[in-house]
């Protein structure tokens, strides 16, 4: 009976832990139904507001609409949302591994699974306890069996689901190739057995700096993130035993993630410890230029979803895990987030999601990373400036940053009181920089010598989306066809295959394309979800197209 009593006590403790232990979660709401003053309506998720423009994430990408064009109720909805965000950001005080959250949630799928596993274990132990109560009348087993049962109990309760997931982090190269393919050849990628390397020149294809009110007088110039100075993303991420918070005490220098357009993403808090977004330092896309005139984001650039499908990652953290927007990889709405601002996907691999309130993207760095004495993740690419860093210009508001037609400079305009001033700057292929500061008082010109402009290394080449010669079309009857894009030069396909979201090959073909519909597959028996079409073309390039099967 003593053995039975001890086992029942252990089971009671385990049951209490199962019923009382909860993780923190973020509340996720459904997309809002928006109505404009002209009567048009659409569905989408609020992203952020910059100046008078509201950014909405829709199925077709990110829309930017002036607040004044929304109906009265929706204008009030936006104002209420902003007040809520201010309150949440004011409450955010992250210390240790804990993250303050908007609202505690319970009863999600992962928690239910954990409780179910505990109940199964309790049932097994009860049966074992009753059996042992009978068996222990055999004297030789009187001491051996209690020890055996204790060891079994400790082993089973310590090996939790979360610990098991530490070995489920491998990232497929083909998956990452697909994610970055939408911005190639502006980015180049390659990999070895340990890292996936991303090369870029540090300049995005969207307008930069617009709307900044907390300007540091830095501007975007080309960088040389190539070769040994490329961004490094782990291919085999390992979940850390204790996730490190992304806050005012960690990762204050350098990037914590890389967007799929090759632009770095920094901690939402600057190296002075302030929230860059709330401080007015960021443009309408969540970025600005650092002390080396290096353009980078401080929140997830969901504007990239105007080119990238909502089912693809918008970035990858430097711990190796993907970052998504408002959708899951299978196209469903974003599920409940944990305290790290993410969760495990249906494939068993962890990923993060972006949001409009702090922590914006990553609450805690889930994967193992190395943080050096300067509070940056290593390995880390390095930016190089060509001029001394300037000081903040209080009262200035940037109105435009127009690129030169030849891509070798910018004309940045800003207001300062009643004045309209300009920074007109350019560079040559040899690294000769000219900065002209134009104000009503006159023009000041400064010349600097920088490094020769870099060229990207040829890596895992994929066709960039705008020049893609083909597209995937899925009919209502689930007939998949690969069709040529109008105006694009058609290139023979030597071999192709289709993979599901788990990386399993579901179709393979070695036939060269013919005119018209060059591929036709009946996928009526395939499971709904995301798929990847990959092809090797006659010109040596690789073609990757992600599509959704309803």
Edge-to-edge strand list for the sheet holding 53-58: 32-35, 41-50, 53-58, 61-66
Task: Say if CB 309 and CB 57 are below 8 A apart.
Answer: no
Query: CB atoms < 10 A from the CB of 113, how many?
Result: 11
H/E run at residue 133: helix 109-135
Identify the segments of the chain with pLDDT beneath 50: 13-29, 88, 91-116, 138-139, 141, 157-169, 461-466, 513-517
Whether the Cβ atoms of residue 148 and residue 135 lie closer than 8 Å to each other: no
- Residue 164 is predicted with a pLDDT of 43
122, two tokens: 């309790």
What's the distance, Cα to Cα, between the start and end of the chain in Å?
59
pLDDT for the residue numbered 52: 77
Among 358, 362, 352, CA closest to 326: 352
**In contact, 265 and 253? CB cutoff 8 Å:** no
CB atoms under 10 Å from CB of 8, counted, come to 13
The crossing angle, in degrees rounded to 10, of helices 144-158 and 2-20 is 10
Three-state SS string across 479-536, please? EEEEEECCCCCCCCEEEEEEEECCCCEEEEECCCCCCCCCEEEECCCCCCEEEEEEEE
Q: Which of the 8 DSSP states describes residue 477?
A: T
Task: Give the pLDDT of residue 28.
Answer: 44
- In this prediction, residue 219 carries a pLDDT of 97
pLDDT of residue 63: 77
297-to-15, 34, 120, 283 alpha-carbon distances in Å: 45, 28, 47, 9
Q: What is the pTM of this model?
A: 0.63
- Report yes or no: 246 and 359 within 8 Å, Cβ to Cβ: yes
Rounded mean pLDDT of the chain?
79
- Supply 428's token pair: 């040559």
Domain residue spans of the chain: 2-22+106-159, 173-383, 468-549
Q: Tens digits of per-residue pLDDT, 183-242?
A: 888 899 998 889 999 999 999 999 999 999 999 999 999 999 999 999 999 999 999 999
Chain centroid to Cα 236, Å, comes to 17
Backbone angles phi, psi at 240, to 5 degrees: -70, 145
Burial of 516 (0-12, 13-18, 19+ CB in 10 A): exposed
User: What DSSP character marks residue 31?
Assistant: P
Q: Compute the radius of gyration of the chain from its Cα atoms.
A: 27
CATH number 1.10.3720.10 is the correct assignment for the domain at 468-549: no
**pLDDT value of residue 313:** 95
Q: How far apart are the C-alpha atoms of 353 and 331, rounded to whole Å?
A: 13
Q: Fill in the DSSP letter of residue 397.
A: E
pLDDT at 118: 52
Of all helices (H) and strands (E), which one includes residue 36? none
Q: How far apart are CA 251 and CA 234, in angstroms?
A: 17
Tokens of 273: 């410890």
> Contact, 124 vs 130, CB < 8 A?
no
Q: What pLDDT does residue 80 have?
A: 80
Whether the link from the prior residue into 498 is cis, omega within 30° of 0, is no
The answer to whether the beta carbons of residues 541 and 461 sit under 8 Å apart is yes
Say how far apart CA 508 and CA 479 lie, in whole Å. 16
Sort strands 322-324 and 350-353 into parallel, antiparallel or unpaired.
parallel
Report pLDDT for 26.
43
What pLDDT, on the 0 to 100 scale, is given for residue 201?
95
Distance, CA of 168 to CA of 162 (rounded, Å): 10
């Amino acid at each position: 009976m003593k053995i039975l009593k001890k086992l029942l006590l252990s089971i009671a403790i385990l049951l209490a832990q199962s019923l009382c232990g909860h993780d923190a979660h973020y509340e996720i709401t459904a997309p809002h139904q928006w109505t404009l003053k002209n009567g048009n309506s659409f569905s989408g998720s609020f992203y952020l507001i910059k100046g008078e423009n509201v950014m909405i994430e829709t199925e077709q990408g990110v829309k930017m609409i002036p607040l004044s064009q929304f109906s009265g109720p929706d204008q009030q909805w936006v104002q209420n949302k902003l007040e809520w965000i201010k309150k949440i950001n004011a409450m955010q005080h992250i210390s240790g591994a804990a993250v303050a959250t908007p609202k505690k949630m319970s009863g999600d799928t992962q928690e239910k699974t954990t409780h179910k596993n505990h109940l199964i274990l309790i049932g097994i132990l009860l049966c074992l306890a009753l059996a042992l109560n009978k068996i222990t009348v055999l004297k030789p087993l009187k001491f051996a069996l209690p020890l055996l049962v204790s060891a079994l109990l400790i082993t089973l309760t310590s090996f939790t689901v979360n610990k098991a997931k530490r070995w489920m982090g491998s990232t497929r190269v083909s998956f990452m190739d697909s994610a970055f393919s939408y911005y190639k050849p502006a980015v180049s990628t390659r990999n070895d057995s340990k890292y996936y390397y991303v090369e870029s020149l540090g300049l995005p294809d969207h307008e930069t700096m617009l709307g900044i009110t907390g300007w540091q007088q830095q501007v975007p110039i080309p960088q040389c993130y190539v070769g040994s100075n490329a961004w490094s993303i782990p291919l085999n991420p390992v979940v850390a035993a204790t996730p490190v918070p992304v806050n005012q005490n960690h990762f204050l220098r350098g990037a914590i993630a890389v967007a799929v357009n090759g632009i770095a993403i920094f901690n939402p808090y600057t190296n002075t410890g302030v929230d860059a977004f709330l401080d007015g330092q960021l443009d309408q896309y969540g970025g600005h230029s650092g002390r080396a005139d290096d353009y980078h984001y401080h929140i997830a650039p969901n504007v990239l979803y105007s080119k990238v499908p909502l089912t693809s990652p918008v970035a990858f953290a430097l711990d190796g895990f993907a970052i998504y927007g408002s959708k899951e990889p299978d196209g469903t709405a974003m599920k409940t987030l944990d305290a790290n601002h993410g969760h495990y996907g249906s494939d068993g691999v962890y990923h993060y999601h972006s949001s409009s309130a702090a922590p914006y993207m990553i609450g805690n760095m889930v994967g193992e990373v190395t943080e050096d004495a300067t509070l940056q993740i290593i390995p880390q690419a390095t930016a190089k400036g060509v001029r001394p860093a300037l000081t903040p210009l209080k009262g200035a508001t940037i109105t435009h940053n127009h690129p030169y037609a030849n891509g070798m400079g910018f004309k940045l305009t800003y207001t300062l009181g009643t004045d309209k001033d300009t920074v007109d700057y350019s560079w040559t292929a040899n690294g000769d920089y000219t900065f002209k500061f134009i104000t009503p008082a006159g023009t000041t010109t400064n010349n600097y010598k920088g490094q020769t402009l870099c060229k990207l290394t040829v890596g895992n080449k994929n066709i960039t989306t705008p020049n893609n010669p083909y597209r995937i079309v899925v009919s209502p009857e689930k007939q998949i066809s690969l069709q040529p894009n109008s105006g694009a030069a058609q290139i023979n396909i030597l071999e192709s295959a289709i993979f599901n979201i788990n990386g399993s090959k579901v179709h393979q073909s070695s036939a060269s394309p013919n005119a018209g519909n060059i591929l036709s597959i009946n996928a009526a028996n395939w499971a709904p979800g995301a798929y990847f079409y990959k092809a090797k073309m006659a010109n040596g390039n690789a073609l990757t197209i992600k599509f959704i099967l309803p």
